[in-house]
Amino acid sequence: MKLHVIVEKDEAGYYVAEVPALPGCLSQGKTYEEAINNIKEAVEGWLEVMESKGSFDPEQLVEVSV
């Protein structure tokens, strides 16, 4: 899975990473690399939570590419 991540440096010097496609999925780190590693973990956690919340009929599942 590929997702766009926005990484910005805040006023305190931390790097803040956000995934616009996943509401509320954000993280931070003292370095750029740490922020990237942390957002990867955050994405995995976000997906696990969302998967456990909703049940769906697999027959209604459709894959699309944009």
Tell me the per-residue pLDDT of 40-63, one tens digit each, with 9 for 90 and over: 999 999 999 988 887 667 787 788
Convert 1-22 to b/e letters by CB count within 10 Å (16 or more is b).
Answer: eeeebeeeeeeeeebbbbbeeb
CB 47 within 8 A of CB 19: no
Mean pLDDT (whole number) for 6-17: 98
Whose tokens are 């994405």? That residue is 43
- Return the pLDDT at 19: 97
What is the percentage of the chain residues whose pLDDT exceeds 70? 97
Task: Show me where the domains of the chain are located.
Answer: 6-52
- Return the pLDDT at 31: 98
Sheet holding 15-18, edge to edge: 6-9, 15-18, 26-29
Q: Which candidate, 4, 41, 9, places its Cα nearest to that of 22?
A: 4
Question: Which has more confidence, 54 or 12?
Answer: 12
- Return the pLDDT at 58: 73
Considering the domain 6-52, what is its CATH architecture? 2-Layer Sandwich (3.30)
